């Protein structure tokens, strides 16, 4: 099939599943991945033949997209803060909001040397690895309960040529001895079960629920446990950063106040939602 016909076929097969602009974006991403062609190259090569294994990859992608499989999982990769990351269904797909959290930490700490950072619930490793890349004088540790997630995070550390010490442990029940941290950061599960109905099928059907959801009756369980642990793990005046559920911002702020954190600061994401909070150990 020639590229022009393939583009038309791709579009027709996905109409009704996604908006047309999103379908075009999927096609461009796949073409760059499979044919190593930028969008401008497509218009210059509309009559090139796409056959064999390359055509099969498009067909497999169509099948996956019709089942609402995220395009990042189909490609097996994504970009976060300008860096490449491998992703599969063992890890959450990194979000732009998390880039904002990482940017906040980098900007506030880029002039500091010999600092230690712990990322709790690292998943793909996007937070820890990006911090290691942009804060080269920091020693980075990253913790996750999932063996599969840690395999992915390890491969991403190698891909981005950084050193991160990965720890397999439960964020709700772990011990780290003989280390004090300047910074602890976490993007824990924070979507309440009752919020599932508002989520898109590509997230709900494919991304790991372990990393997404918390019970409605104890939605702050990870924040509470991590804040409690942080008193033992942080140095005096150490910083605790969280990504948060926008609907629970005031509750999380109150929780940190009760845990005797000071200078608590709440930040909005680019959409104007309460998305990040920082506190300093008293």
188 is in an annotated binding site: yes
Whole-angstrom distance between the N-terminal and C-terminal Cα of the chain? 66
81 is in an annotated binding site: no
47 is in an annotated binding site: no
- Bridge partners (DSSP) of residue 239 are 183, 280
146 is in an annotated binding site: no
Of 234, 281, 242, 235, the closest CA to residue 262 belongs to: 281
Instruction: Round the CA-based radius of gyration of the chain to a whole number and report it.
Output: 21
272 is in an annotated binding site: no
Q: How far apart are CA 130 and CA 103, in angstroms?
A: 9
64 is in an annotated binding site: no
3 state DSSP class of 11: helix
Dig out the tokens for 203 from the structure.
Answer: 């997230």
Three-class HEC string of 188-206:
CCCEEHHHHHHCCHHHHCC
Q: How far apart are CA 147 and CA 168, in angstroms?
A: 7
Q: How far apart are CA 46 and CA 280, in angstroms?
A: 57
144 is in an annotated binding site: yes
190 is in an annotated binding site: yes
Q: How far apart are CA 187 and CA 275, in angstroms?
A: 10
Look up tokens 């063996």; give the residue: 147
19 is in an annotated binding site: no
Q: How far apart are CA 282 and CA 164, in angstroms?
A: 28
73 is in an annotated binding site: no
Q: How far apart are CA 119 and CA 166, in angstroms?
A: 9
Binding residues for S-adenosyl-L-methionine: 121-125, 144, 187
Binding residues for substrate: 187-190
């Amino acid at each position: 099939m020639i590229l022009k016909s393939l583009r038309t076929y791709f579009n027709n097969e996905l109409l009704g599943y996604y908006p047309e602009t999103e379908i075009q974006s999927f096609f461009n991403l796949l073409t760059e991945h499979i044919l190593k062609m930028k969008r401008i190259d497509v218009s210059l090569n509309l009559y090139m033949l796409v056959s064999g294994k390359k055509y099969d990859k498009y067909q497999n992608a169509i099948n996956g997209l019709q089942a609402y499989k995220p395009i990042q999982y189909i490609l097996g990769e994504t970009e976060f803060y300008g860096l490449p990351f491998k992703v599969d269904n063992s890890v959450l797909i990194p979000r732009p909001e998390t880039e904002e959290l990482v940017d906040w930490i980098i900007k506030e700490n880029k002039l500091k040397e010999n600092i230690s950072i712990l990322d709790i619930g690292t998943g793909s490793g996007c937070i820890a690895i990006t911090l290691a890349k942009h804060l080269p004088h920091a020693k980075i540790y990253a913790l996750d309960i999932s063996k599969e997630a840690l395999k992915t995070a390890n491969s991403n550390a190698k891909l981005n040529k950084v050193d991160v010490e990965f720890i397999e442990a439960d964020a709700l029940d772990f011990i780290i001895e003989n280390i004090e941290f300047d910074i602890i950061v976490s993007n824990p599960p924070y979507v309440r079960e009752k919020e599932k109905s508002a989520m898109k099928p590509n997230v709900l059907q494919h991304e790991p629920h372990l990393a997404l959801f918390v019970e409605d009756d104890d939605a702050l369980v990870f924040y509470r446990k991590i804040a409690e642990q942080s008193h033992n793990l942080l140095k005096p005046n150490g910083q605790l950063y969280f990504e948060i559920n926008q609907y629970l911002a005031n509750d999380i702020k109150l929780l940190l106040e009760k845990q005797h954190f000071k200078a608590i600061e709440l930040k909005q994401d680019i959409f104007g939602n309460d998305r990040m909070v920082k506190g300093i150990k008293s």
